[in-house]
């Protein structure tokens, strides 16, 4: 069986690094279909994507990574599985085949897990460890890196785990819901990359949203 796997790149103000990501995806031995969801960027994100000849869907105004991913999943509904990876170069495309291989081997959700190295800023190291431990507890199985957006989702899992998250908390919500429903979760180790990219994660807007989502997941009734 060979799964049809597409790549979905949510992109916001990502013109500086998107080109290298798309180039590396195109250079894979078996290049995937690629969709870039440009979330109201005011820089050349959409133009860069078009230059590389990939499919582009643009929002008129910024709505958040969660909205961009949900729109992308819908546009790619004919594929068996979707790999999501960031536009800022933190998710090396050379790992893409490892995600596809884990799905071929039977995983429904494949989570990229970053090795925690000194390259990760100290506050991020703490936040990632803390949120991953909490997610593992409420998911009922080990989730080593709950915040990493480099993932593969099988179509059946996307259908079975409706989410309402609109920004970064979408990743947390879907992993916990999928694990609770008994979907097979696998992990693929990926390098930890911190370069000159700028994070758009806002401590005042996004951290409360992520914590709020984990609280909701902790206290809501579980599926039986």
Ligand X SMILES: Nc1nc2c(ncn2[C@@H]2O[C@H](COP(=O)(O)OP(=O)(O)O)[C@@H](O)[C@H]2O)c(=O)[nH]1
User: Which residues in this chain contact ligand X in the complex, by CB under 6 A?
Assistant: 10-12, 14, 37, 39, 62, 64-65, 68, 86-88, 90, 149, 199-201
The residue to which tokens 């709950």 are assigned: 146
Nearer Cβ to ligand X (47/156): 47
Q: Which two tokens mark 76?
A: 């790619």
CA separation for the pair 42, 61 (Å, rounded): 9
Q: How far is the CB of 181 from ligand X (least distance, A)?
A: 25
Residues 22 and 79: their CA atoms lie apart, in Å, by 19
| 31 vs 121, beta carbon nearer Mg ion | 121
To the nearest whole angstrom, how small is the minimum distance from the Cβ of residue 40 to ligand X? 8
Nearer to Mg ion, 18 or 103 (CB): 18
Cβ proximity to ligand X: between 38 and 183 the closer is 38
Give 224's contacts (C-beta < 8 A, 6+ positions apart).
none
Picked from ligand X, Mg ion, none, the partner binding residue 172 (CB below 5 to 8 A depending on kind) is none
> In the block, which residue shows the tokens 């936040």?
127
- For residues 188 and 178, give the distance between their C-alpha atoms in angstroms, rounded to a whole number: 17
CB of 172 to ligand X, least distance (A): 12
């Amino acid at each position: 069986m060979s799964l049809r796997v597409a790549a979905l790149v949510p992109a916001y103000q990502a013109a500086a690094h998107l080109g290298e990501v798309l180039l590396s995806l195109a250079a894979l031995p078996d290049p995937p279909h690629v969709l870039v969801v440009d979330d109201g960027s005011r820089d050349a994100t959409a133009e860069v994507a078009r230059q590389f000849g990939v499919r582009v869907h643009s929002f008129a105004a910024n709505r958040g990574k969660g909205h961009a991913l949900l729109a992308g999943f819908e546009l790619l509904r004919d594929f068996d599985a979707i790999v999501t990876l960031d536009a800022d170069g933190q998710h090396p495309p050379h790992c893409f085949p490892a995600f596809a291989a884990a799905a071929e081997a039977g995983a429904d959700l494949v989570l990229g897990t970053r090795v925690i190295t000194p390259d990760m800023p100290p506050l991020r190291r703490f936040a990632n460890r803390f949120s991953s431990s909490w997610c593992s507890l409420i998911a009922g199985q080990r989730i080593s890196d709950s915040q990493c957006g480099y993932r593969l989702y099988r179509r059946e899992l996307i259908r079975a785990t409706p989410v309402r998250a609109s920004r970064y908390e979408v990743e947390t919500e879907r992993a916990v819901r999928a694990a609770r429903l008994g979907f097979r979760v696998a992990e693929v180790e990926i390098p930890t990359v911190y370069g000159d990219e700028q994070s758009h994660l806002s401590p005042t807007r996004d951290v409360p949203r992520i914590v709020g989502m984990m609280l909701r997941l902790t206290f809501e009734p579980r599926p039986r």
